[in-house]
Chain A
Amino acid sequence: MLIFCLKLIASQKFTDKRIGYLGAMLLLDERQDVHLLMTNCIKNDLNHSTQYVQGLALCTLGCMGSSEMCRDLAGEVEKLLKTSNSYLRKKAALCAVHVIRKVPELMEMFLPATRNLLNEKNHGVLHTSVVLLTEMCERSPDMLAHFRKVSLVPQLVRILKNLIMSGYSPEHDVSGISDPFLQVRILRLLRILGRNDDDSSEAMNDILAQVATNTETSKNVGNAILYETVLTIMDIKSESGLRVLAINILGRFLLNNDKNIRYVALTSLLKTVQTDHNAVQRHRSTIVDCLKDLDVSIKRRAMELSFALVNGNNVRGMMKELLYFLDSCEPEFKADCASGIFLAAEKYAPSKRWHIDTVMRVLTMAGSYVRDDAVPSLIQLITNSVEMHAYTVQRLYKAILGDYSQQPLVQVAAWCIGEYGDLLVSGQCEEEPPIQVTEDEVLDILESILISNMSASVTRGYALTAIMKLSTRFTCNVNRVKKVVSIYSSSIDVELQQRAVEYNALFKKYDHMRPALLERMPVMEKVTINGPTEIVQSNGETESAVLETKPPPSGLQPVSQASDLLDLLGGSDITPVIPTAPTSKPDSTGGELLDLLGDLNLTGSPVSAPVPQIAQPPFLLDGLPSQPLFSDIAAGIPSITAYNKNGLKIDFTFERSNTNPSVTLITIQASNSTELDMTDFVFQAAVPKTFQLQLLSPSSSVIPAFNSGTITQVIKVLNPQKQQLRMRIKLTYNHKGSAIQDLAEVNNFPSQSWQ
């Protein structure tokens, strides 16, 4: 069959050739060997006397030519690119584009032919030439620079202007607009030329403004041009007036009846919301209305955009809308929406009460869609809102009374009831009328959670621990708790069984320790993603004894992070370091806690106590000014690339102190060579026990794409024993919509950094 195609192509009869080439394009592709046999036929036909035969050859080569074919025939294509026959010239241009895509090294040979491509009057040639120039400029910065130099921008501006100003041309008219296809392609090429280039951007400012204001918007074709114009304005170095104009166009798009136009507007606004935040804010209400659209893609974009627009001023109103959306949206949105609401609430909550209320609303509305990792952070939030404990536990209790199927909700509720059950029973709530609950009723519900088929294993763990804690908070029901605990010591679930056995032991052998161990949790320090850690003074109930060998899943975030690193580092020779702020810490508490830490066995059993600030022993801070004046040994120490994977590169540069030779200052620089930003970037490090480490605050949490910016962070390393520096690092960040985590070991420290 395939050979037959070749026969047809090689035939003298035009009919045969036509069908043969069609067959080849449909049935063959570059992966088949017989494909190469076509090369000779095509070569002959490229030089045929009939232009339609040449056209067939050019078309076939341009659609499915393999790299070898392209290499062999590039010369012929180049020749045809210079012909005066516009029918062939336009096809040759697109064929050249295909050749470049297949064999980028051949791009150079087409450069001379491009010199007067744009002098053509024929629109087909103009269009394909613009496509060719676009391909070259996108692929090669040298080409881009070349075309900027040879005044391509003014030439394009002139052509575009003629198109707009010229009268009606029946041949190219589409609903009153002259050759929209060419206009859009020119706008796109202008975008590439104007990007990051002030001169080029300035040269096209006027024409962009003209197109933006004069294009007819009643039909899709006009909007297509406006859309491309907006994309160009936003991407080049345009003046602010033009940018505002562009965003207003998008705002008008949002009000358009045509769904496609709204879709396109939301997509573009999402791209510009970071850079032109205030301008986009003006259209906030329209965007929020789009949450009610019936089209799923429009809803998703509206949701993302809405989250991007939340700030301190509009948070109450926006949250109302978003909560309403959460309630009524499709399941595929609920998880993202819930996470977004939590994030926004954490950043902009006007009051603790509002924050807790919002969190609870999300839990009750979309409790089963909340991501598992939200549970620990919510628990932390609740713990830290000391004055709201009674209110919170009451509301959570009411929420799960009727229905305890939503696991995240139940987990948070169980934990709270365990902690604050006494407040619940004693009716201490101030914010709303307290409910009457007896201890038995509380234990009833916790037990039903334990028994229920709907409860996940993790949830059962929460419930059991909660019941246990209530043994110290409730006065009358200790026996009941004992009974429950002993029942579960023979549970099939290993996790539950272990807990139950330990709790049993607590009752039997360590009853004197029970009250101390089950004391109220102190307020946890917030290890926020970036920025200085907040040191929250514990409210007098500091009890940092080990609760149990297995840490409860009650999300002691800082410890779990430390223990993660520990686990990964897998040995007792590594000390985890939690990033600390360089601000002053309460040294007294630091000292005590450090002693405690020293007594505890850190291997494999991470401390469940609140993470202490690892107070630095005096000599690290002494004698060093806050702006460390490190000596110029820095000049001598070579920097290293500590990590380079998936577009993320981290470099270490070193400085040694003149005054204290055991101190090394490492400055890390994280850069991102991919096309998308990396957000929520967190850098953690661990060193062998003989070292000490202090991580200062990073410059930001976002690494912009295309190496256009870096995050810097300073690490102070104390190495009194002058041992070889080793480090394990853990990186977490968000990229392309997914959370990424990676561990690495850095072993290539130059000897001058530690000797």
Chain B
Amino acid sequence: MSPMLLFGPPSIRGSLVSSWASGSVPVVMYMAVTAFGHPIHFILLFSRQGKLRLQKWYTTLPDKEKKKIVREIVQIILSRNQKTSSFVDWKDLKLVYKRYASLYFCCAIEDQDNELLTLEIVHRYVELLDRYFGNVCELDIIFNFEKAYFILDEFIIGGEVQETSKRSAVKAIEDSDMLQETVEEYMNKPAF
């Protein structure tokens, strides 16, 4: 297990390596699930102060509802201590969360879903981020949030995993990046 997942300013990366390598760092990955099939319902990434860094919803909800849910869940998870499991029963869903350095990854899955596998899914996403950014930290996510979404979209569609190979997923992003025009090309190319 490569201790690559370091979220935090460069100065404290050193200490975070050891903390990650030694134990399991809870990451809160929120995935939502639907009634038939068991997709993930939503994924939330937030800091230890409760600042939301990424939210991906695979169900349709009004904005107000989403905000309410986020507030509620952030509160629930931030109040959990180290001694508890990574799973929380919430309404008719289950929250699977894990903290990687300063970021909580939280997934909401359905009651009958495989929680242990969801932990692996969360971990895989973090690995993908790390592979792409190289020793990823929270700042990378903050300043390149669109890339974080692109990576997520190469890994999961509609709440289901689409690619199980780390190499393929990251390669797709990198190839897409190549397709993006340089500034000069961008200015010169017609839009339509």
Contact = CB atoms under 8 A, between A and B. Distances in A.
Interface in A152-178: 171-172, 174-175
Contacts of A95: 157-158
Interface stretch (B11-19, B100-108, B131-139, B164-172): B164-172
B180 A15 contact: yes
A262 B116 CA distance: 11
Interface stretch (A126-134, A312-320, A485-493, A559-567): A126-134
A101 B34 contact: yes
Nearest to A65: B158
A27 to B, nearest CB: 10
Interface string B91-134: 00000000000000000000000111101110010000000000
Contacts of A124: 162-165, 168
Contacts of B83: 259, 294-295
B25 to A, nearest CB: 13
Chain A interface SS verdict (over half): helix
Nearest to B57: A29
Nearest to B159: A63
A342 interface: no
A131 B40 CA distance: 13
A367 interface: no
Interface string A75-96: 0000000000001001100110
Contacts of B192: 10-12
Contacts of A296: 84
B168 A171 contact: yes
Contact of B166 (A13, A171, A184): A171
A30 interface: yes
Interface stretch (B44-52, B67-75, B146-154): B146-154
A11 B60 CA distance: 27
Contacts of A55: 172, 176
A50 interface: yes
Contact of B189 (A13, A52, A64, A227): A13
A716 interface: no
A14 interface: yes
A175 B24 CA distance: 15
Nearest to A175: B1
User: Which has the most chain A C-beta neighbours within 10 Å: B89, B115, B190?
Assistant: B115
A98 interface: yes
B119 A90 contact: no
Given A13-B189, A14-B180, A15-B181, A59 B153 contact: yes
A30 B60 contact: yes
B116 to A, nearest CB: 4
Contacts of B150: 18, 22
A704 B116 CA distance: 29
A123 B165 contact: yes
B179 to A, nearest CB: 5
Interface stretch (A216-224, A369-377, A528-536): A216-224
Interface string A125-152: 0011001001100110000000000000
B140 interface: no
B143 interface: no
Contacts of A416: none
Interface residues of A, number: 69
A63 B189 contact: no
Contacts of A62: 157-158
A589 B126 CA distance: 78
A738 to B, nearest CB: 14
A85 to B, nearest CB: 12
A180 interface: yes
A182 interface: yes
Contact of B172 (A52, A263, A297): A52
A90 to B, nearest CB: 5
B85 interface: yes
A719 to B, nearest CB: 47
A324 interface: no
Interface in B11-70: 24, 34, 36-37, 58, 60-62
A50 B115 CA distance: 37
A203 B166 CA distance: 32
Contacts of A128: 160-162
B181 A181 contact: no
Contacts of A50: 179
A182 B161 CA distance: 10
Nearest to B35: A101
A179 interface: yes
Contact of B37 (A131, A174, A261, A297): A131
B172 to A, nearest CB: 7
26 contacts: A10-B192, A11-B192, A12-B192, A13-B189, A15-B186, A16-B191, A19-B146, A25-B153, A26-B149, A52-B175, A52-B176, A62-B158, A94-B160, A124-B163, A128-B162, A138-B37, A171-B165, A172-B164, A174-B120, A220-B120, A224-B116, A224-B120, A258-B24, A259-B85, A294-B84, A297-B89
Interface of B: 1, 24, 34, 36-37, 58, 60-62, 83-89, 114-117, 119-121, 124, 146, 149-150, 153, 157-158, 160-168, 172, 175-176, 179-181, 186, 189-192
9 smallest A-B Cβ distances: which pairs?
A224-B116, A259-B85, A94-B157, A124-B163, A224-B117, A98-B158, A62-B158, A62-B157, A263-B85
Given A52-B179, A184-B117, A298-B85, 12 more contacts: A13-B191, A14-B179, A22-B146, A52-B176, A59-B157, A123-B163, A135-B36, A180-B120, A181-B121, A224-B119, A263-B115, A264-B115
